[in-house]
Amino acid sequence: MRKLNFLLGALGGIFGGLLLTNKKLRKDLRTAEDPSEAAKILGKELHRGGKEMAKEAKLWLESEKTQKGIKKWKHYLGKQWQGISHEAEHIAASAAKSAKHKAEDAYEKARETIERKMH
């Protein structure tokens, strides 16, 4: 339900922004003869605005500053992953060593118990 509320809010914001900033759209909507024509006008405007937004997003993503930031994040995440991997290996080795000692102790106790029972 939250996603639907968010989507409706975002669409409302988009329509509000379009109506506030686009004089031609307001004029076209006023002169629309019926709701279906108004819907077509809004759809056309949203399509045009979506294309512009996609073009701007692409330019932003391809910009030198953004690519530099992405490179920094990849480097940072790579370092973090190495640290986590090293820590996980250390934990696994420690657990294996501890398990080996516990198994040896359990074997010795079982052997002693059997020997006591046999004598």
Q: What is the pLDDT of residue 15?
A: 76
Tens-digit pLDDT string for the chain (119 aa): 677 777 677 777 777 887 888 888 888 888 888 888 888 988 888 888 778 878 888 999 999 999 999 999 999 999 999 999 999 999 999 999 999 999 999 999 999 999 888 87
Helices (H), the chain: 2-21, 23-31, 35-62, 64-118
Q: What is the pLDDT of residue 53?
A: 79
Q: What is the pLDDT of residue 49?
A: 78
**C-beta of residue 15 within 8 angstroms of C-beta of residue 45:** no
Of 7, 45, 53, the residue nearest 26 (C-alpha): 45
Please count the CA atoms within 13 angstroms of the CA of 105 that sit on its side-chain side. Answer: 6
Q: What is the pLDDT of residue 99?
A: 93
User: Taking the domains of the chain in order of start, what are their residue ranges?
Assistant: 1-62, 64-119
How many other C-beta atoms lie within 10 A of the C-beta of residue 42?
17
Amino acid making up residue 32: A
Q: What is the pLDDT of residue 32?
A: 86
DSSP secondary-structure letter at 33? S
Q: Which two tokens stand for residue 105?
A: 């102790």
Instruction: Please give the span between the terminal C-alpha atoms of the chain, in angstroms, as a whole number.
Output: 73
Q: What is the pLDDT of residue 95?
A: 93
Cα–Cα distance for residue pair 79/73, rounded to 1 Å: 10
Q: Which two tokens stand for residue 19?
A: 């109506």
Q: What is the pLDDT of residue 1?
A: 63
Cα–Cα distance for residue pair 51/11, rounded to 1 Å: 16
